[in-house]
Structures are given as structure tokens and as C-alpha cells.
Amino acid sequence: MSANGCIYWDESSRGYHTNSGRTPYVRGRWVGEKTINGKRVRMRSTDYEKVMHFLGIEPEKDTTILNGLTPLKGFPNYYADIANGEIYSYIHGKVRKLKGHEDGGGMRSVYLSRDKKKVVRSLNRVLFAAVRGIDVDIIPDDLIVQCSEEKGYYVELKSNAQIQRKKSQTGIAVMIERNMKESELLLGYYSKGDIIRVMEYVLSLSEDMVKEVQKRYDCLQERARFVTDLAIDEFLASLKDGTMVSTNITRALKTMLHAAYKRERSMYEYNDNIRVKK
């Protein structure tokens, strides 16, 4: 018995199945009774928790199940597993992981329920709110929540994120065009023996290669230029003798730059601008 009504076990017959044998249902089920507008109403079910819900009684939550989960502020009965990026519901004594869905851009969202209404929220926004201990709906619409290994969950202006996305898409397009051009140059060499165009292209990259060596290894320009020349010579030699197997000229040159720097470093030591053989 409770202030909301009562629950009891009823052993009366539940009727028969509609199969050919007319086998009877298992006898007995839970009954919940309460008064609404002066009238006695009841609900019967074999699920005790459903009857409790009918009476407005929530089962006591098992704290061992919820251990390590963070409650979502403003959304009772929802919890976040921040470490694994998952959202769980705990309703009528049952824990359920929300599946959510992805849009065309790969952004995940989850469906939540508040005040008996279903709402959809970005998973990143929900997890950010859980980390901060705030209601997800107070995050302004002009902010977007991002996630990275270095920063975790963080917010930035949506306009800035859109600009960065466009830059990223532009960078990918440039890389694809470069790869196509390099494949075309190598195809011309292997099919027609046209090495002049390959040499011109490789030499056009030399200044950028010098700067990259200087930046990566923090060395003098003279040393960077010497290493670059070694890498270019090695690339052209491997192309002619058939040992160069890559179809990406830029990637092959970067690999050879690193190898040439290591070899050159083991043979020479630099003292200011003077290169001295060991």
C-alpha cells in the first residue's frame, strides 16, 4: 500500500491463448489500484515495474549500476558516460544505452525525453553539458561543440567552425589535384620516357623542401639545401633504375629528405656555417 494506491498479486485466470490447443495463460499477475476523480481504476500486468509506474512509484535506483556515470542536468533519468562518449537512460529500474543516429556529416545526435516530449540534441553538446554540469539547452545556438584528443569537448563560434571546415575541404581538394598531377607525370615517364617534365616538377619543389627541412630540423639554410639536393638526386636515380615504387612524388621526396638528413648528420658536423667531415 502507498499514498498513490496499492499493488497486489491476483491469481485469477487470465484466459486462454488463441492457438489450436487453447492453452491457458500462466495464472496470476500484479494489479495496481488507485483513485482518479473519485473512481477506482486498476491496471494488471506481469511486469511489476509497469504497475509501479502506473501508480507513479519509481523503483529505487541501483547506485552500483550508475557508478561512474554523470547525471544530465535538466534531463532526469539520463546519464552520460563521458569517457566513452555514450548516453544512458535509467527508467523504471532499467539501464539502456541510447543508440542515437548520424547525419550526413557524421555528427551524432541522441533522442531525450523531457516533460513527456522527445527532443533531439547533438551528442557533443550533451557530453559537453555533462562535463560542465549545465543544462544542454543553455548553450547558445551560435556556438558549436567540438571534440579532440588534445582539448576534449570545447566550444567555438559556429561561423569560425564553418570557415575552418571550408579551409579543410579546400586543402583536401588541393591535395587531390596535386596527387592527380603527380600520377600523370609518372604515367608520362613510364609510358613515354618523358623524364624532363618530372625533373622540372621536382626542381620546382626544391625551395619548399629547403624551408621544410629548416623548420623540421631547425638547421641552417646551407645544410637544408644540401640535404634537399641529396634527396632530389636520390629520387631521380631511383626513378631511372626502377627502384622507386611510389606513385606520389611529394611523399617519396619527404621520405628521402628524412633519410638524407639522417645520413648527412652521421657523416658531418656543423659549426656555425662551416661543414666539417667527421
pLDDT tens readout for residues 235-255: 888 888 888 777 788 888 888
Long-range contact pairs involving 67-72 (C-beta distance under 8 Å, separation at least 24): 70/130, 70/131, 71/130, 72/112, 72/126, 72/129, 72/130, 72/136
Query: 256 has which bridge partners?
Result: none
Q: What is the CA radius of gyration of the chain?
A: 34
Average pLDDT over residues 13-33: 69
Whether the Cβ atoms of residue 224 and residue 213 lie closer than 8 Å to each other:
yes
Q: What percent of the chain has pLDDT over 70?
A: 79
As given in the structure block, the three cell numbers for residue 42 are 486498476
Do β-strands 152-157 and 268-271 pair in parallel, antiparallel, or remain unpaired?
unpaired
Say which amino acid occupies 109.
S
Q: Which residue has the cell 473512481?
A: 39
Cβ-in-10-Å burial (0-12, 13-18, 19+) of 237 comes to exposed
- Domain annotation for the chain: domains and CATH numbers: 6-54 (no CATH), 70-139 (3.90.75.20), 195-277 (no CATH)
pLDDT reported for residue 91: 79
Q: What is the pLDDT of residue 78?
A: 92
Query: How large is the average pLDDT for residues 39-48?
Result: 84
Res. 277 pLDDT band, cuts 50 70 90: very low
Strand order in the sheet with 29-36: 6-10, 29-36, 39-45
Work out whether the CA dihedral 71, 113, 56, 66 comes out positive or negative: negative
**Averaged over 6-25, what is the pLDDT?**
69
Q: What is the grid cell recorded at 222?
A: 646551407
Condensed to tens digits (0 to 9), the pLDDT of residues 163-213 reads 666 666 666 777 888 888 888 888 888 888 888 888 888 889 889 889 988
